[in-house]
């Protein structure tokens, strides 16, 4: 049997980058999602290198703090960008290193000859952090949701306010509910 020759690893180079300016939480990007920020950075790179309408080997990116709507963040970012929508994309997630891990994953594929080119990156926002509630706060929501919206919204806020007050005692909090049809109810709870 003839032994297989090991392929020689190819050299990999980072040829450029693009980013949106860093900003404090709840500042200029307070109402921007991970996808919006990642798409802006990707489009900056596409413009800088003249990649409009081009298909690259792969786009790999991710975020640590992701909403459930971000389950396919990299793919949706490509679809919202100026790249060719046939560009393959996938998400990764690693605390304190998503962008770097994306670069390493893309570089490994190029080095091994699986890809000729790739774009890698990451994004995160604490201004639009995914928030959840515990079972005690969640259970009243489905029953209240089945009632007409005006009544349901008031019941939801009242129920959550009571549960928070019982559980947390004096303090300050915010309840924000998004209901069907894009309607929302927000209650700001102020206590001494």
CA dist 145 and 38 (Å) reads 33
Per-residue DSSP letter, 182: G
pTM here? 0.67
For residue 108, which of 46, 57, 42, 47 has the smallest C-alpha distance?
57
Per-residue pLDDT of the chain (192 residues; tens, 9 = 90+): 677 777 788 889 888 888 888 887 778 888 888 999 999 999 999 999 999 999 999 999 998 888 888 889 999 999 999 999 999 999 999 887 888 899 999 999 999 999 999 999 988 877 777 767 677 766 666 665 555 554 555 565 566 666 666 666 555 454 444 443 334 444 444 333
Helix or strand run (H / E) with residue 109 = helix 98-111
């Amino acid at each position: 049997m003839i032994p297989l020759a090991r392929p020689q690893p190819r050299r990999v180079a980072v040829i450029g980058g693009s980013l949106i300016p860093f900003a404090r939480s709840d500042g200029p990007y307070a109402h921007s999602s991970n996808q919006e920020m990642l798409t802006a950075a990707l489009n900056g790179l596409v413009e800088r290198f003249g990649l409009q309408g081009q298909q690259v080997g792969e786009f790999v990116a991710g975020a640590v703090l992701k909403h459930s709507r971000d389950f396919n963040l990299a793919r949706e970012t490509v679809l919202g960008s100026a790249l060719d929508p046939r560009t393959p994309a996938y998400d990764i997630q690693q605390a304190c290193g998503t962008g770097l891990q994306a670069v390493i994953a893309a570089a490994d594929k190029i080095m091994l000859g699986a890809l000729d080119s790739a774009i890698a990156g990451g994004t995160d926002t604490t201004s639009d952090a995914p928030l959840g509630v515990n079972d005690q706060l969640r259970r009243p929501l489905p029953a209240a949701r089945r009632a007409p919206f005006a009544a349901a919204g008031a019941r939801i806020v009242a129920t959550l306010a009571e549960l928070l007050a019982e559980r947390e005692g004096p303090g300050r909090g915010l309840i924000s509910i998004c209901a069907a049809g894009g309607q929302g109810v927000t209650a700001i709870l102020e206590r001494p």
